[in-house]
A and B are shown apart, each in its own frame.
Chain A
Amino acid sequence: MATITIDDIEYTVAEGRNLIDAVAELGIDIPHFCYHPGLPADGNCRMCLTEMEIRPGQFGMVTSCTMRIKDGMNFRFNSPATLDNRKGIMEFLLINHPLDCSWCDQAGECSLQDNSFDHGRSKSRFIETKRVPPQKELGPHIQLFTTRCILCQRCTRFCDEITGTSELGIIEMGARSEIAVFDGQPLNNKMSANVADICPVGALVTKDFLYKPRIWHYEKINSVCPGCATGCNTTHEVMHQKIYRTKPRHNEEVNSYWMCDEGRFSYHDWQDLDRLKSPMKRENGVLVATTWPDAIQLAVDGLSGLLDDGGNSSVGVVGSAMMTNEENYLLKQLAELALKTSAIGLYRKPEGEEWTAKGGFRIEPDKTPNLRGASDILGTSDMQGILDGINSGDIKGLYMLGGHMNLALSESEKSTLSKLDLLVVQDVCDSDLVTLAHIALPGAIPFEKDGTTTNIQGRVQRLNQVAPPPGAARLDGDILQYIGQKFNTVLGPKTPAEIMGDISEKVDDYKGLNYSMIGESGALASGVNPLEEAGG
């Protein structure tokens, strides 16, 4: 720790950090544009210049973004020199800036707007002609309103240092400089949309968010991306229970400040999914809609019948890496307490593409958010045993959780599952599972859930509900509790938080975990990764 002086008052701050970050922890804001904590500092906007005693009795201006704290440093944050410079920089940035606020998407989260209140002029002194460089489409997701750009170079630094793809450059010279891509080489890396997040003004925008309602209309709901095992922390911007935008949320241990484009825009596909809106039962080979009481009773009767005829080993359950820890826990409880079977499996979705960015951000090949959690909770990491049991004729009935957007079973999985006398599934849309099911129960998608998932690092992270399931669909945990009731068993407590209490007692690696400890940035489950033990 170091002691520094700011305007004649002493403070204790972490040594070695840059001044902007160090004093942010004290609640002091140093205005800045080009500095971003996830990028190497550049010092080109000059907004963060602050007076510092560089020699005894002599003060000079230093960039706060590059000044590393050392014990004894002496700053003047409110001197005329420091404050006048901010006014000067604001004026310079605004003289060529278009007065677009009324239709610019950045309104409400714009660094120029924000700093204008404190440091800007109310009347412009500029009567010359503003420069008007043309608007550009930089890539499939990103539009550049070049007139608004303040050339802070956050976007070029991002493409050079974080993705390593270097699609963006600055062409021309001086005041004619512009951000550009090379003809035929658009900005299309897998994390391109992050440049719109980090752009401090409305220059770089996603086409996705173009002209959508103002940001102050949205409720912000924190969650975790369900796209892969990285588990990027996210924030959904929601109005009337609909997601209008998803942005990454900073978590230095997981995703830093970033998320991939596919995950970011996946909310469209999820929200547009043609959902199962009511329970279905198979009659004469065709699935027909029915009521919850009917469907549940059929399922329970069917499972009980198989148990009576063939014993406990004739029925099994299969969990899902799309379901939360709490939901998979309730499934385990169903197996142990209600069905009294030890045939428990976990469906493994085939892996997809993996990608590691230059700066270390990873897109995992496992395209589910909770394989690690599900296998921790269920005590198994695949369903091979179940498939063998079905093929040998031992297992005749299966209770399976789905919840994937686009689950595609392999031919051999399909042929095995079609041998079942009874297949009860919880799913969200018309999938291969539903096609084979005798009873299909409509469940929830990740945005509709409260609960936790565990990412590939073993970090347990919280999801928060954006909207309730539509139509007659229900939360998957509630469906399982309903089934349990019909078996005269209480599978677990009511709320996900309470269920985590049970998990923390019953599952070794989750000992001591609770929702307040997990908080907004998650907490690590201890212990060995069972996926690694089992050979992945």
Chain B
Amino acid sequence: MINKFIPKTIHRVIVKALSIFLLFAVSLPSMAELELRISKTSDDGIPIYLANIAGGANGIIEADLKRSGRFTVIDRSKINNLPAYGAPLNAGAYSNIADYIVRGKTLNGGLEVELTSTSDNAKTIYNISSNSNNRRVAHQAADKIYEKVTRERGAFDTRLAYVTVTNKTSNNRMFRLYVSDSDGHRPKAILSSRLPVMSPAWSPDAQKLAYVSFEENTSAIYVQNIFTGKKRKISARDGINGAPAWSPDGNRLAMSLSISGSPDIYVANVNNGELTRVTTSSAIDTEPSWSGTNSIVFTSNRGGSPQLYRTSASGGSAQRLTFDGKYNSAADIANNKLAYVTGNRGAFHIALRSVNNSGSDRLSNGQLDESPTLSPNGAMVAYTTLKNGDNTLAVVSDNAKARQFLTSPVGDVREPAWSPYLNQ
């Protein structure tokens, strides 16, 4: 109706302006950074005070330590006139405020960071050399502090892979596979496709990602080097090619294939392609995760509902691991901890347990949480949760005391995969 009254030229201009707007709207997500929001921090963690460091590294270190759920970062206003780094520090004077005081300075593009215990005035100084990604320098400093205080290796200087989707219910939908720092900064899209991309999995050397892509209108498993972009098709057999998971030695990929009818777990040698069948059930067997060099935990509905089972990577009988709840799936294992999805009474949560003991803790309380992935030290779990109708990433500490959200301004963010420790 309205169209009738708008002259053709104006109509054309409107259409053109609209299409330019749409073009930008569609290309926006590729440059959008995830936004980190802290929803909960531990207030009974180890109290630590971080002095200002020129360049702002202390802010990155602070967010890292908070994310672990093991530290309570003391408000800067609690200590006045703290001697600048280099000047003598009588740390004992602050023992009623913090257990540790961190001071530091930038040095040759890197960082020099001093950790002082207020109980015995003991000082440790760390020199972190420069890096082309200067945020990594701060993450490495956070790892040093974390390790000294908790006696557990830090995992802040690591990466996340994740999938974003824009326009998910329209024909313009676009899937992108991203790699970012573990706090969501410096995202880089390494793949875009109009057809689904899913299930990213890191190689143990943190150089490559295996993933599932439907780009050729059937499912296939690819391995792509995240630095060179070079990619190789590993499996494109008839039916399902899904859920790739690297063996700890990086020579094999466990996966779910349906070449024999129903989906079963197979292990493919990445170098020569040799395929070993691991499970033989007529039910759904998928989502393998390695537990050590010769054991695989996977999801199967052989008992009537999806549950976790464990079997040898060379095949044989499987042992059921989960009994509570009617939906337990998507295991991820690191440092002997097992994170998984547990469904009950209409809601799906992330749970954490030890691989060998069945007692579990619930780590999340969303309605449809999924895709848990453990940091390599097992201290944190990233997962997907619904926020304002879209999927977004969350990171929760293993003690559930700290939670951060990594949200995108546009579209869905999902399927995080936490990288192993970085060697370079």
Whether chain B is bound by chain A comes out as no
Q: Which residues of B line the A interface, CB within 8 A? A: none
